Amino acid sequence: MADRDALLELAVSIARETGEMLLAKRPARPEVLATKSSPTDVVTALDRAAEELIRARIRQARPQDAILGEEGGETPGLSGPSGEGAPGPSGANHVKWVVDPIDGTVNFLYGLPDWAVSIAVEVDGEIVAGVVHNVPRGEIFTAVRGGGAWLAGERLRCNTGVPLARALVATGFGYGAERRRVQAEVLAQVVPNVRDIRRAGSCAVDLCSVAAGRVDAYYERGTNYWDWAAAGLIAAEAGARFAGLNGKPASPELTLSAAPGLFEELHDLLAPLDPERG
């Protein structure tokens, strides 16, 4: 059986090394190599360098594991008869690492303080360990399934007993103009019903903020698996619900997280607004 604590220890070590590399090499204005979904959806040279470092360290330690990364896509492990997602040595689990080398690249580009290295470990299709390293703030959030969420040796607990009207809600916006228009329409209906809105610019940081009680809830359309694989586990292990709309799991269609009670209130506010459109 895969040792979850050992997997987390490796993930933390890699995330820490990657963060140190990014701080050391980040120029005053990082080079934009390419754009993805729109001209505002950027990739920097250091996004790719960070993912290459993470992949190299995983390969050195666990060559049998698969890796899914935002920049490099999915690659199979190096062992197993099929060479594609097959288990490693007899009796071993299928392990896949889910990597976002810089979650919050626009923040990284502009020198804003909320961007993170996110590494999750999936065993037999279930996320069992995760780390989110908010590099500028020097914060390392961790979780092992069933073992709680942690920051600096303190167990995290999300805020509970907060009604929707007093909830501080984090959200984010997509890169396409039409999606932004729809998100603005939805937000206009959310704002009068909550305490206030916060926009950090990183899905992973927002979910860790739910876990740490820095915000009460989070929702967003358009996030990807690597954005929330680690942070979703951290939020859940801190007591928050983490899911999509109408009983669906979290997905690019919508990701929603809050303590039980508030989760349902926010869900019921969002669902009639059809936030998955656009």
Domain match, 123 and 173 both:
no
Write the DSSP string, 189-250.
HHGGGSSEEE--S-HHHHHHHHHHTSSSEEEESS--HHHHHHHHHHHHHTT-EEE-STTPPP
pLDDT at 86: 42
Q: For residues 115 and 18, what is the distance between their CA atoms, to the nearest angstrom?
A: 13
Domain match, 33 and 140 both:
yes
Alpha helices in the chain (DSSP H): 4-25, 45-61, 105-110, 177-190, 203-212, 225-237, 262-270
Q: Give the domain CATH number at 233.
A: 3.40.190.80
Mean pLDDT to the nearest integer, 189-198:
98
Choose the final residue of a domain: 155, 182, 200. Answer: 155
Average pLDDT, the chain: 91
Domain match, 262 and 204 both:
yes
Query: By residue range, what is the domain housing residue 228?
Result: 164-273
Q: For residues 60 and 92, what is the distance between their CA atoms, to the nearest angstrom?
A: 18
pLDDT in tens, 141-190: 999 999 999 999 999 999 999 999 999 999 999 988 999 999 999 999 99
pLDDT at 278: 75
Establish if 87 belongs to a structural domain.
Answer: yes
Domain match, 129 and 83 both:
yes
Mean pLDDT to the nearest integer, 76-80:
72
Long-range Cβ contact pairs of 247-251 (< 8 A, separation 24 or more): none
Q: pTM of the prediction?
A: 0.92
* pLDDT-wise least confident of 73-87, 140-154, 220-234: 73-87
pLDDT in tens, 45-57: 888 999 999 999 9
Total domains in the fold of the chain: 2
Domain match, 11 and 131 both:
yes
Choose the final residue of a domain: 155, 175, 195. Answer: 155
pLDDT at 29: 72
Establish if 212 belongs to a structural domain.
Answer: yes
pLDDT in tens, 81-110: 333 444 444 456 899 999 999 999 999 989
pLDDT at 62: 97
Domain match, 127 and 21 both:
yes
Structure tokens at 25: 């090499």
Torsion over CA: 168, 273, 179, 264 (sign): positive
pLDDT at 250: 97
- Where b means 16+ CB within 10 Å and e means fewer, 247-261 reads eeebbbebbbbbbee
pLDDT at 85: 42
Does residue 227 carry a pLDDT above 90?
A: yes
Domain match, 25 and 86 both:
yes
- Band (119; pLDDT cuts 50, 70, 90): very high
Establish if 247 belongs to a structural domain.
Answer: yes
Cβ distance 252 to 223 under 8 Å? yes
